[in-house]
Every structure is written in structure tokens, then in C-alpha cells.
């Protein structure tokens, strides 16, 4: 991927050297292995609800402030990773500004926060274990760069376009917030509509974010022609690697569709492909689809 063609965003905030608090449950024993497994299953590329789950697991008491870390000194690889993040975020800004203009609507750019180990957001405290996430409470995407290493090592989902897909997916949640979709999902949930499960609101919301990531990829490719051989396969492999069925099978040894929060591997691949093929936001209505 010739990502160096992308315009660098100024909306990246580096908090990696700021020091972070960590929450411990009463008694200070930390999460059990089972608790960590649950967080990993529901935390990859999460929206809002996995953060709430994390808060339930670690509790709201026993907050400890870790000492500030030393000033961050990046090696050349990290410097390049940050440049990459700025380039991808900048291109999502350009894409969604254009798409919203076409609809006669206004798009406000999100901010992307880089953190290390753990971070406080308007959605609560989160450790790196939950993966990248978007918080609608402050319109910010949160990313620990070590997640890219985990993608390659644990999920065998390496590659710059796979990493770009992750960022674009989280920005997709910001788009949902901008369009009022997130608010409608919350209202439906409060009225009794199920969040979890193969046809639940959470799955539909996550698959729509995958589709939005595909729409971005389509428009970005039309502008830059920056994709190279194997890039699309990287993104599809990443989408497949973090499907609920695959993560459940890895952590629990069985697949439980009633506990799905993000969609199966096949669903995630299909909706990304749909957005990428169409380049049209109107093709991403997972909430009206009878079968997702």
C-alpha cells in the first residue's frame, strides 16, 4: 500500500508518555484469566458496549494511578507507524468530508488518541487488552500501537492495509455517531431490542462499521490508486481473523452465536467487501437487512 500518498491529519494526540491509571477490582487481584478471555473476545474493534463490560469486570473501585513514564522516545519503526496513522486518518477525513458534502450534511473530524497500556476516556478507563475503540462520548478513536503487533503475531493479520482497515472501522463508528445511528441503537436497546446475538443490534452496528471502512477504501483507492497486489486480501484476512466465531473458538473452544457482538468472520468479510465494491454509504444499511 502506497500510504505515503495520504494527507497527514493534525488530529492525532500522543498520550503514550503521559502515564495512565489502572483499575483493580476490590482486593487488588486483577482480572482472572477467564475475565481477560471475555474482554479479548468482545474487545477487538469494539464500539461502546465492550468498554462497559470491561468496567463491570474490573469494577469501579480500587483505582490506582501509575507513575508517569519517562519521555517517549520513538525508534524509527514507531515514528513510521505514527506517520502511517496520520496518513490513514487524514484520508478518512477527506473521504467522509466528501461523502457528507454529497449528502448535504456536515462532517466533524474525530480525534485519534495514541496510548500505551491504558487510557481514560469519556467512556471510562480501558486497558490495551480491549483493542482499538471509539468513544462516542468524546468523539475520539483510541489506539495502542502494540495492537498492530498483536494482529500480526496472534491473528496472523499483518500488513499496512489490514492496519488501515482497523483505523477505518473505528472511524466508521464515528460516522455512525455523526449520522445519529448510534443514538438510535441506544434508544432501541433501551426499549428492549437485544444487543447481543447473531441478529442483535451490536452485530449490526459493527458490521455497518466494517461496510463504512469498505466505502472509505473504495473512495481512497479512486483518489490515490495506492493499493498494491495483496492489499485487499490483507484487509479481508484481518476482518476474518477477528470474527466472533473465530475468537470464541480460540478462547472458549466452541461457537456461541447468542453471544455474538461483532459478527462472524464471514459476515465481517462480506460487509467490508460490500462497501468496498459499492463505495456507497447507502449500501451499508445493516439494520434493514433481513439476513446479515
Residue range 91-114: mean pLDDT, rounded: 98
Q: How many residues does the chain have?
A: 292
**φ and ψ at 243, to 5 degrees?**
-70, 150
Taking phi first (over 0 means left), then psi (-120 to 50 degrees means alpha), and beta for anything else, what does residue 113 get? beta
Taking a C-beta distance cutoff of 8 angstroms, is the pair 161, 233 a contact?
Answer: no
Residue 64 has pLDDT above 70, yes or no: no
Confidence of residue 57 (pLDDT cuts 50, 70, 90): very low
pLDDT at 72: 55
Report the candidate in 52, 33, 209 with the shortest Cα–Cα distance to residue 130: 52
Q: Using one digit for the tens of pLDDT, what is the confidence trace for 232-285?
A: 999 999 999 999 999 999 999 999 999 999 999 999 999 999 999 999 999 999
Confidence of residue 7 (pLDDT cuts 50, 70, 90): very high
Report the candidate in 83, 79, 94 with the shortest Cα–Cα distance to residue 224: 94
Residue 114 has pLDDT above 80, yes or no: yes
pLDDT at 292: 86
pLDDT at 81: 96
Confidence of residue 290 (pLDDT cuts 50, 70, 90): confident
Confidence of residue 138 (pLDDT cuts 50, 70, 90): very high
pLDDT at 34: 40
Q: Which residues pair with 120 in a beta bridge?
A: 125
Evaluate the CA torsion angle 97, 98, 101, 105 in order and state its sign.
negative
Q: Using one digit for the tens of pLDDT, what is the confidence trace for 27-52?
A: 333 443 344 444 444 454 444 445 44
pLDDT at 19: 53
Residue 157 has pLDDT above 60, yes or no: yes
Average predicted confidence (pLDDT) for the chain: 86
d(CA 218, CA 131): 25
Q: Dihedral (C-alpha) 154, 159, 161, 166: value to the nearest 10 degrees?
A: 20
Report the candidate in 2, 107, 43 with the shortest Cα–Cα distance to residue 247: 43
First to last CA, the chain: 30
pLDDT at 192: 94
Q: Using one digit for the tens of pLDDT, what is the confidence trace for 180-223?
A: 999 999 999 999 999 999 999 999 999 999 999 999 999 999 99
Taking a C-beta distance cutoff of 8 angstroms, is the pair 279, 218 a contact?
Answer: yes
d(CA 202, CA 10): 31
DSSP letter at 9 equals P
Helix, strand or coil for residue 130?
helix
User: CA angle 65-66-69, nearest 5°?
Assistant: 135
Q: Which residue intervals of 145-195 are DSSP H helices? A: 146-153, 160-179, 181-190
Taking a C-beta distance cutoff of 8 angstroms, is the pair 268, 243 a contact?
Answer: yes
Amino acid at each position: 500500500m502506497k500510504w505515503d500518498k495520504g494527507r497527514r491529519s493534525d488530529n492525532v494526540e500522543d498520550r503514550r508518555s503521559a502515564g495512565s491509571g489502572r483499575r483493580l477490582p476490590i482486593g487488588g487481584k486483577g482480572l482472572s484469566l477467564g475475565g481477560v478471555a471475555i474482554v479479548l473476545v468482545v474487545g477487538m474493534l469494539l464500539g461502546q458496549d465492550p468498554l462497559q463490560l470491561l468496567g463491570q469486570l474490573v469494577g469501579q473501585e480500587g483505582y490506582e494511578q501509575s507513575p508517569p513514564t519517562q519521555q517517549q522516545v520513538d525508534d524509527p519503526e514507531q515514528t513510521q507507524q505514527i506517520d502511517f496513522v496520520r496518513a490513514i486518518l487524514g484520508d478518512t477525513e477527506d473521504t467522509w468530508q466528501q461523502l457528507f458534502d454529497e449528502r448535504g450534511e456536515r462532517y466533524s473530524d474525530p480525534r485519534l488518541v495514541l496510548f500505551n497500556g491504558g487510557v481514560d476516556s469519556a467512556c471510562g478507563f480501558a486497558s490495551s487488552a480491549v483493542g482499538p475503540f471509539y468513544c462516542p462520548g468524546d468523539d475520539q478513536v483510541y489506539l495502542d500501537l502494540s495492537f498492530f503487533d498483536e494482529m500480526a503475531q496472534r491473528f496472523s493479520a499483518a500488513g499496512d492495509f489490514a492496519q488501515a482497515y482497523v483505523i477505518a472501522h473505528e472511524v466508521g463508528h464515528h460516522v455512525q455517531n455523526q449520522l445519529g445511528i448510534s443514538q438510535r441503537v441506544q434508544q432501541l436497546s433501551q426499549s428492549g431490542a437485544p444487543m447481543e446475538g447473531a441478529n442483535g443490534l451490536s452485530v449490526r452496528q459493527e458490521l455497518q462499521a466494517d461496510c463504512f471502512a469498505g466505502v472509505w477504501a473504495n473512495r481512497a483507492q479512486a483518489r490515490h490508486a495506492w493499493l498494491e497486489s495483496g492489499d485487499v486480501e490483507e484487509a479481508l484476512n484481518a476482518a476474518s481473523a477477528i470474527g466472533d466465531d473465530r475468537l470464541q473458538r480460540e478462547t472458549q473452544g466452541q461457537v456461541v452465536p447468542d453471544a455474538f457482538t461483532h459478527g462472524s468472520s464471514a459476515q465481517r468479510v462480506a460487509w467490508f467487501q460490500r462497501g468496498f465494491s459499492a463505495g456507497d454509504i447507502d449500501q451499508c444499511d445493516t439494520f434493514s437487512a433481513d439476513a446479515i
